[in-house]
Chain A
Amino acid sequence: MKSIDNVKKFFKNAAISTNPSMDETVLDKVLIAHEKTTNTKSAVIEPNIRRTIMKNPIIKLAAAAVIISLVVLGLFEFIGTENTSGVVWADVVKKVEASRGSVVRCREKNSFQPSDETDYSITYTSPRHSRKDFYKGGQITQTYYDDFSGVETVTITGVYHIHKHYLSDTYKKSSNEFFLEKHEDWMNPRYLVQRVLAGEHRNLGQKTIDGVLCEGIETTDPAALGPLPGPINRLEVEFRLWVDVQTKYPVLFESKMSGEAEGKSMESEWVLDEFQWDVELDPSFLEPNIPPDYVDIRTL
């Protein structure tokens, strides 16, 4: 250990872990202390802090996966281009990439967040912006706006309607804070094409969905996810994409994922449907709309 830098490295790498049963014991004491002092009010649908909550890679991955699944829609470019039954998958990718804007409904269930916070969400995406509205009981409870137009930065704005609060922050794409934004390539369908090509996939044939003749494809190869945010054990994925045979646009995407990391297991399922493709979205609709009486969380 000759240099100071080595001492710093040694310090940073000296690891510590905790006994899980003791974790629970200590946490119980902490939660009891909290309860005694706060007279905890019922949590009136508080924000679902999407994407990253914990350091645990499995949670990061699950939180990121809904967005991934949107991107995965473009990942079948080279699969079965020789297909003779109807859909030529390369055409699907071309159409998705050429789409000016899209709208999709997402329903998700996972084992790490309360399922009663949100019924579903609607995501509006243009090449450089997105907006996601979360619905509960027919009302929008929170809205997230993402601005990817910066060369090196991403601006994320969360508007929490029930509490009339908001929060906006800009991050470097190169920072470690967001798994997805860090790996910009995950937003690039062509990159994901390469990933899925490395894995196994199969054609599901045709079936009618909501009166529309569709053709499907499925992959269960975790390699489709590309680089992971950390070591994940027993990772299982199941992606199924159904495409309208006539329009060549995706109409249904079903995803399942499970895995284990740092002693925690996770299961997650999403269904993306009610797609609208090649929609021209009004840019002002994708800009953060913060009512004047809403309060910046940082001032609280």
Chain B
Amino acid sequence: MVEDRLLIWKFKLGNRNALRRIYEKYKNDLLKLAIALTNDVNTAEDVVQDAFVGFAQSAARIKTSGNLKKYLATCVANRIRNRKRDRQRHEASGIDDSDCVISDSKRPEQWAILSEEMELLSDAMAQIPYEQREVVGLYMQGGMTFRQIAKVQNASINTIQGRYRYGLNKLRSILNSEV
């Protein structure tokens, strides 16, 4: 997309306005993805904020040839997976991690406002295994291909396609019982 390439270019040249536009353009998509993956608005907000802050600090490393939306979606998915891993590590060590999941950048109000459908979707997504959830989220909301998701999950394309199929089927069955 020419628009994104020019936005990245301007961003690399140090233009604040370009960063502002990137933020405005993708914040809702990323929040939706993060909520679908975590089923926790607070965590999702922290992850997306962190992803944008990380992006803002990475002008020198970003390539204009890449796809901005997919890049940001991957950042969000990676951050969520890292948090999940940290949490599991803390749980395994027997240390109470209740403070660890709370971001150090507390916000006074809720950032994301969910529609009823979004809440239903988030609850339904929470009921499917995380790997399937991630595939469905990155494919549907991140606009990524199975091949790209396969790289993120370090799995074969067949595995990713299988996870997508199983995930969608489970989602359908859960939503059928709720809608």
Contacts and interface: CB of A to CB of B under 8 A. Distances in A.
Interface of A: 1-4, 6-8, 10-19, 21-23, 25-27, 29-31, 33-41, 43, 46-47, 49, 52-55, 114, 156, 158, 163, 165, 167, 169, 171, 177, 297-300
A49 B7 contact: yes
A297 B6 contact: yes
B53 A167 contact: no
A1 B59 contact: no
Given A26-B49, A49-B3, A114-B17, A14 B57 contact: no
Contacts of A10: 117, 121, 175, 179
Interface residues of B, number: 61
Contacts of B5: 167, 169, 297-298
Contacts of B36: 11
19 contacts: A1-B176, A7-B172, A15-B118, A16-B28, A16-B35, A16-B112, A19-B112, A26-B52, A26-B111, A27-B20, A30-B55, A38-B59, A49-B6, A53-B3, A158-B6, A163-B13, A167-B6, A298-B64, A300-B9
B65 A299 contact: yes
B15 A300 contact: no
Interface stretch (B71-79, B82-90, B102-110, B150-158): B102-110
A4 to B, nearest CB: 5
Interface of B: 1-3, 5-7, 9-10, 12-21, 23-25, 27-28, 31-32, 35-36, 49, 52-53, 55-57, 59, 63-65, 105, 107-115, 117-118, 120-121, 136, 140-141, 168-169, 171-172, 175-176, 179
A29 B105 CA distance: 10
Name the 8 nearest CB pairs between A and B, nearest first: A34-B56, A22-B111, A14-B117, A14-B118, A15-B115, A14-B121, A33-B56, A40-B14
A90 B169 CA distance: 61
A7 B171 contact: yes
Given A43-B13, A297-B9, 19 more contacts: A7-B171, A15-B117, A17-B113, A18-B27, A22-B110, A26-B49, A30-B55, A31-B19, A31-B56, A34-B57, A43-B17, A46-B15, A46-B18, A47-B10, A156-B2, A165-B9, A297-B6, A298-B5, A300-B9
